Chain A
Amino acid sequence: MNTNAVIRLMSLMSMWMWTGQGQTFQPQLTPNDFQAKITSNTVILKQPYCIFDQTCNGCEIWLVAALSSIKMSLEIKVRVRYIFFFLKSTTTFDAQVNSSAPYVLNLSPYPAAFNPSSRNFFVTKVGPLASFPCSQSSNDFYFIVGAEGNCGGTNCNGILPNGSIVSFKYLLIDVNNQTIVNMSNWSPNITLLTFQNPQTINDGLSARSGAMVVITTILSVAAALLLLLFFIMLCIVCCGRKEGKPISGVSQTVMSSIRIPRYDTHLKDQVHPYDNPAYESEVKNYSTSDTLPKSGIQTQKL
């Protein structure tokens, strides 16, 4: 088994050297700044300008879209002791292509391509070789893998499995002779975005802002303080009123005006004029006793 693998390795290496072009000989992501460059089930690649420089009438470029796992599965089956395991990694797909009799385009039809026990790749057409000359290479053009959605054709451009790790490879196929003329390298692994359920977003309270804490504490303290002071004030006022009652005993019994110092009550048994004992003079006395009307005028009978 060891020699078998070594022979495979040597053949691969020779094929690799023969097909090596010096520039990047593999599918690449578009260098443009697209938001949807990699989504959960589609990828946008550069168009294959200047990949194959053979001239070949009737040749077409096809794309292999595969799960990266089929690159590595041989590694799991045969315990790897080789240094160049990345070269070895392409043998699974290549083994299927080289060894099996059916035409590669019919090998793995799209609808069943990614079922659990399937081959985990599909092949879809990019375009005729003549459409991609080196001289017209441009980054403005792009190719969307998965553009046809969940389609039903054998070689349709269907979507990839959600969130999987995928790799791509170009095939140069002569349709008339049904042979593979050339194969590019595998692209590096591309990890698709995983599709998450929006229910998993945690929309609970994240954190309390500082402003909210300040407002709440200061207002609570202020309200409590206000209530406390209010009760203290009521206590002081009520106690003050109770203590104040017995002090002014005499003047309470006299029900008379506090503003007039002397007036005539016209009662026979009282003095004329009558000095008001409840009189309270204001602090500012604008008029002195000299300027007030004299007592003679006050006793005039009306």
Chain B
Amino acid sequence: MGAGALTCLMILVIVLNAIAAAAGLALFAVAIWVAVDGYKLYPISGVSGKDDIFAAAWIAIFTGFAFFLTCIFGIFAALKRSRALMLAYLIIMFIIFLFECASAITAATNRDYLVGNSNLVKKQMLQYYADSSTQGKQITQTWNRVMEQVECCGADSPKDWLEYNSTFKQTFGPTYLWPLNCCQRLSNFEVKDREGCLVGKSSTMFTKGCFQYIESVLSRYTWAVSWYGFSVLMLVFFTLLITMIYYMQLD
């Protein structure tokens, strides 16, 4: 291969590696956002033991940063035109590629377990809300916050509290059919109409279910790790192809 074409290829390799380094750094940032869990919904996945979305986010933090460093090393190796360095670069990139694949697949699969339908979230709410164990306290806090902020009640609707037995029902008996957080409140946090809320008057309580919101947040986390990780991997795949061709043209 002529020297001019080789230089062209080298520049292409450098440019692709620069883009991949930037993409890796962005993956690092997005994965940190997911791991920090700004919506504070971790207990819903943690209590059921299916918190792989967050585990995948942690893996993506490391692989994102590793992509960044390795791609910079790749730029250096391409400039040096050294076969040994390029080989090292290819091997390291391949290992990181495998880890990032694992992260993307794990996040997508785990999301199906958690929020494929509302059953898991509903069962968890019925069992752990108002329970006095540590998991119960976490779930109670999470649900209270969600019900207040999103203005919802129950998983699919308040009827979830009526149709199923629950820890809440055992504790608070026939007086309270559903938690008071289901009731509409005034700006000073007083319940707007306690009597109305106890019988379920639609104008004094929230009648939509919370599952939609929980599902949208967890899906947002998953697609951040999974789809963005997928797109970074496609870019890296293409970069590695070009780099392998460049490696073969070196001597």
Contacts and interface: CB of A to CB of B under 8 A. Distances in A.
B194 interface: no
Interface string B1-30: 011100000000000000000000000000
B234 A222 contact: yes
A154 interface: no
Interface in B87-116: 90, 94, 97-98, 101, 104-105, 108-109, 111-113, 116
A226 B91 CA distance: 11
Interface in A183-238: 193-199, 201-203, 205-209, 211-212, 215-216, 218-220, 222-223, 225-227, 229-230, 233, 236-237
Nearest to B203: A33
A180 to B, nearest CB: 30
A149 interface: yes
Contacts of B200: 34-37
B201 A33 contact: yes
B109 A212 contact: yes
Contacts of B124: 203
Nearest to B237: A222
Interface stretch (B35-43, B65-73, B134-142, B161-169): B161-169
A182 interface: no
A142 interface: yes
Contacts of B48: 203
A42 interface: yes
A48 interface: no
Interface string A260-288: 00000000000000000000001100000
A44 interface: yes
Contact of B109 (A142, A194, A216, A223): A216
Contacts of A66: none
B226 interface: yes
Contacts of A197: 164-165
B179 to A, nearest CB: 13
Given A196-B165, A225-B237, 9 more contacts: A35-B200, A149-B173, A201-B122, A206-B119, A209-B112, A219-B101, A226-B94, A226-B97, A282-B3
A41 interface: yes
B101 A198 contact: no
A216 B227 CA distance: 11
B145 to A, nearest CB: 22
B5 to A, nearest CB: 11
Interface string B193-207: 000001111100101
22 contacts: A34-B199, A35-B200, A39-B177, A40-B163, A197-B165, A198-B127, A202-B119, A203-B119, A203-B123, A205-B113, A206-B116, A206-B119, A207-B116, A222-B233, A222-B237, A223-B101, A230-B94, A233-B248, A237-B83, A237-B247, A282-B3, A283-B3
A97 B111 CA distance: 61
Interface of B: 2-4, 48, 83, 90, 94, 97-98, 101, 104-105, 108-109, 111-113, 116-117, 119-120, 122-124, 126-127, 157-159, 162-166, 173-175, 177, 198-202, 205, 207, 223, 226-227, 230, 233-234, 237, 240-241, 244, 247-248
Interface of A: 32-37, 39-42, 44, 142, 144, 146, 149-150, 159, 193-199, 201-203, 205-209, 211-212, 215-216, 218-220, 222-223, 225-227, 229-230, 233, 236-237, 282-283
A37 B237 CA distance: 60
Contacts of A194: 163
B108 A236 contact: no
Given A195-B164, A215-B104, A220-B101, A35 B248 contact: no
Nearest to B167: A198
Contact of A215 (B98, B175, B230, B240): B230
A142 B117 CA distance: 36
A40 B201 contact: no
Max chain A Cβ within 10 angstroms of own Cβ: one of B97, B108, B127: B108
A78 B98 CA distance: 78
Given A34-B202, A211-B227, A229-B244, A205 B116 contact: yes
A34 B201 contact: yes
Contact of A203 (B109, B120, B223, B248): B120
Contacts of A220: 101
Contacts of A222: 101, 233-234, 237
B59 to A, nearest CB: 14
A193 B240 CA distance: 62
Contacts of B248: 233, 236-237
A41 B174 contact: yes
B112 A206 contact: yes
B164 A198 contact: yes
B101 A212 contact: no
